[in-house]
Amino acid sequence: MKGRVLIAGFATRHVAQSAYRAGYEVCAVDHFCDQDLNWYTKDRIKFEELDDLAPAVEEMSSRHRFDMLVVTSGAEDLQSAISLCGTPPGRVLRFLDKLATQQFFEDIPVSVPRLAGEGEYPYIIKPRRGAGGWRNAIIRNGDELTAWENLYDAVPYIRQQIVSGVPASVCCVTDGTRARAIASNEQILRGEGGSGFGFCGSITPYSGPQAGAMITLAEKIAAASGCTGTIGIDFILGDEIYAIEVNPRFQATVDTVEMATGCNLFTLHTGACNGILPGTLPLSGQYAARKILFADRDMTIAGDLKELSPVISDIPWPGTELEKDQAITSVYGWGRTRSEALGVLDKNITSVQQYLR
């Protein structure tokens, strides 16, 4: 065993799995505590609201001694006595605020959708803090703005010009001053309803014509960010390459990055935090795709979906009650080409859906 690590955040399974495979003993503080999180962890605590996360970390700290703390989404600015392996809270704050991130991109400088003025319709509205794109929306007039403000009462936001293109990202590792890209990813968004901009999967690698330029730009951004460890840079690939966000932590693309490249991101993360970066971009041995399935109705998971592993992960317990639009599970596909990987993904989704009827 290399050491004992506590992983804390809204969802931790993907990082716990990587850490376990890297040879660490893992404990987790997690909102879901799905079945497969148990497979990779010695101990775990489930929390409901983000305000409950810090007390849960304290509780876990009273049970075990940890060599390091690694945080995921929702815990980026967590304060803890455990030695942090990642970007310090003081440095991470500007990337939790989309307005501060906008200023960061403009200062480097890199292309970023410009801020829209009040009444300059249409524009995309985004909460200043939050991940995953779930509350982002296109606003076309004052009535739509009022409806959004009423839905998300008193949530600070920014307005940006709308840019069209392919949503993509680059996973990087950085030591605070240098950076190395690990993989490029195409992002899958829900594309419908009130959560149309919500992240729901990825395809690795992204191999479109702007891939090389995006990777070079991502390394520039990551090196300038001052972050340490693995981070993700989000882009829109349109008439030019627009930087969108910096995610100063492990990203939701961990599974497809590891499946496509064969690397272990947790090992690369700890190495980068100790000043060690890989010499070259890992080569992708295959295409890997992941898609999150969401409930199309209120439902209860009747069967035991663990039988479908490793085609799925984030596996709910039998008897789990889900409301419409809640995430059910993640499904994978893989292949020598993008189309082959998506074909396997579609086939596997069909198989999984038969268990959900």
Cα separation, 305 vs 34, whole angstroms = 11
DSSP assignment letter at 22: T
Structure tokens at 317: 């317990």
pLDDT at residue 112 in the model: 98
Whether 116 contacts 159, CB under 8 Å: yes
pLDDT at residue 356 in the model: 87
Cα separation, 305 vs 356, whole angstroms = 9
Which CATH number fits the domain 100-160, given the four candidates 3.30.230, 3.40.50, 2.60.120, 3.30.1490?
3.30.1490
pLDDT at residue 96 in the model: 96
pLDDT at residue 82 in the model: 97
pLDDT at residue 58 in the model: 97
C-alpha distances in Å from residue 5, one per residue of 33, 57, 65, 153, 158? 17, 12, 9, 37, 36
Mean pLDDT of all residues in 325-342: 97
Q: How confident is the model at residue 105 (pLDDT cuts 50, 70, 90)?
A: very high
The region that residue 237 occupies, defined by phi over 0 for left and psi between -120 and 50 for alpha, beta otherwise, is: beta
C-alpha distances in Å from residue 212, one per residue of 52, 84, 150, 160? 42, 32, 42, 26
CATH number of 4-85: 3.40.50.20
pLDDT digits (tens, 9 = 90+) for 260-299: 999 999 999 999 999 999 988 787 889 999 999 999 999 9
pLDDT at residue 108 in the model: 97
pLDDT at residue 193 in the model: 67
Q: What is the dihedral of CA 310, 314, 315, 321, to 10 degrees?
A: -160
Q: How does the average pLDDT of the chain come out, rounded?
A: 96
The helix-helix angle for 254-261 and 13-21 (nearest 10°) equals 30
Q: Which residue has the tokens 């330029």?
A: 213
pLDDT digits (tens, 9 = 90+) for 211-229: 999 999 999 999 999 999 9
Mean pLDDT of all residues in 68-80: 96
Longest dimension (CA), the chain: 58
pLDDT at residue 131 in the model: 82
Cα separation, 27 vs 88, whole angstroms = 20
Mean pLDDT of all residues in 247-256: 97
Break the chain into its structural domains and give their ranges.
4-85, 100-160, 287-354
Whether 257 contacts 204, CB under 8 Å: yes
pLDDT digits (tens, 9 = 90+) for 174-211: 999 999 999 999 999 988 766 789 999 999 999 999 99
Q: Which fold has domain 287-354?
A: Aldehyde Oxidoreductase; domain 3 (3.90.1170)
The helix-helix angle for 265-273 and 254-261 (nearest 10°) equals 100
pLDDT at residue 191 in the model: 82
